[in-house]
């Protein structure tokens, strides 16, 4: 009788322990960020080809005019560039194009400091409002967490410091040689590590006939 009771107890312990073992196997290989090894491998292969829905080296400036409205381009935009801004999310979008009208660079960055106070609805400061101006094709948006950069793109080919306005930020540089035919795409992301916020996004295509 005692032997029968012992067998029942052993079977119960085995059944209770089995789900825990399966769960350990399911999460095996996860790093400190919670991203599994296969996911990390995929992130390292991620190729970024667009910002704000625009693809440097492929799209023409007409697409930007249609998407963000040509009549809303700032009149003091730089030559061969179109500049839009959102005073509530405090970000600017600059689209630069070559002599043939092909976009070669798209950039989102903070708008210059101003003493003017804008009357904005509270919803105008949300992430969804910032995303309307655009983020990367993989979903990175102005003022997102800096941690998302490596989660989406893996380790950068180059990490440096960059002066944006009057502040010094972390700069992450990624290069993609398969994003656009006969072009090299370079993604540059600046981050404010102190505030854990993405401050600027820039995607540039080489090989276009820049002015």
Q: Dump pLDDT digits (tens) for 2-42.
A: 444 433 333 333 333 333 333 333 333 333 333 334 334 34
Q: How far apart are CA 123 and CA 134, in angstroms?
A: 16
Q: Which SS3 state, helix, strand or coil, does residue 50 take?
A: coil
Least-confidence region, from 51-65, 99-113, 136-150, 152-166: 152-166
CA distances from 57 to 50, 84, 179, 185 (A): 10, 20, 9, 8
Residue 66 is given by DSSP the state H
In which element (H, E) is residue 47 found? Answer: none
Q: Once rounded to an integer, what is the mean pLDDT over residues 174-203?
A: 87
Q: What is the pTM of this model?
A: 0.73
Using one digit for the tens of pLDDT, what is the confidence trace for 70-93? 999 999 999 999 999 988 888 999
Which of 18-32, 142-156, 170-184 holds the top average pLDDT? Answer: 142-156
Q: Which SS3 state, helix, strand or coil, does residue 116 take?
A: coil
Q: Which position has the token pair 């993604």?
A: 187
The answer to whether residue 3 sits within a structural domain is no
Q: What is the largest CA-CA distance in the chain?
A: 93
pLDDT attached to residue 131: 84
What six digits make up the tokens of 159? Answer: 């990490």
The answer to whether residue 117 sits within a structural domain is yes
Query: Would you give the distance in Å from CA 111 to the centre of its chain?
Result: 18
The answer to whether residue 100 sits within a structural domain is yes
Structural domains in the chain (count):
1
More confident residue, 208 or 97: 97
Q: Phi and psi dihedrals of 28, rounded to 5?
A: -65, 140
The answer to whether residue 60 sits within a structural domain is yes
Q: Once rounded to an integer, what is the mean pLDDT over residues 129-156?
A: 91
What six digits make up the tokens of 79? Answer: 């030559």
pLDDT attached to residue 208: 57
pLDDT attached to residue 31: 39
End-to-end C-alpha distance for the chain, whole angstroms: 92
More confident residue, 126 or 81: 81
pLDDT attached to residue 116: 62
The answer to whether residue 8 sits within a structural domain is no
Domain of residue 87 covers: 35-205
The answer to whether residue 185 sits within a structural domain is yes
Evaluate if residue 124 carries a pLDDT over 80.
Answer: no
Evaluate if residue 149 carries a pLDDT over 70.
Answer: yes
What six digits make up the tokens of 168? Answer: 């010094």
The answer to whether residue 19 sits within a structural domain is no
Task: Please give the share of the chain, as a percent, with pLDDT higher than 90.
Answer: 50
What six digits make up the tokens of 104? Answer: 């070669």
Q: Once rounded to an integer, what is the mean pLDDT over residues 126-152?
A: 89
The answer to whether residue 137 sits within a structural domain is yes
């Amino acid at each position: 009788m005692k032997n029968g009771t012992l067998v029942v107890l052993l079977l119960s312990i085995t059944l209770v322990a089995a789900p825990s073992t399966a769960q350990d196997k399911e999460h095996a290989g996860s790093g400190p960020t919670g991203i599994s090894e296969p996911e990390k491998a995929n992130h390292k292969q991620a190729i970024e080809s667009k910002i704000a829905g625009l693809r440097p080296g492929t799209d023409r400036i007409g697409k930007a005019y249609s998407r963000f409205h040509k009549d809303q381009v700032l009149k003091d935009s730089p030559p061969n560039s179109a500049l839009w801004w959102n005073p509530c999310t405090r970000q600017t979008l600059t689209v630069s194009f070559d002599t043939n009208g092909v976009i070669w660079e798209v950039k989102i960055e903070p708008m210059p400091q101003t003493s003017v106070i804008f009357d904005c609805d509270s919803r105008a400061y949300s992430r969804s409002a910032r995303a309307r101006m655009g983020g990367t094709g993989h979903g990175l948006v102005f003022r997102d967490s800096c941690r998302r950069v490596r989660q989406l793109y893996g380790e950068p080919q180059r990490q440096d410091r960059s002066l944006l306005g009057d502040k010094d930020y972390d700069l992450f540089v990624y290069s993609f040689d398969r994003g656009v035919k006969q072009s090299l795409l370079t993604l540059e992301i600046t981050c404010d590590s102190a505030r854990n916020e993405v401050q600027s996004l820039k995607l540039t295509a080489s090989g276009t006939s820049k002015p």
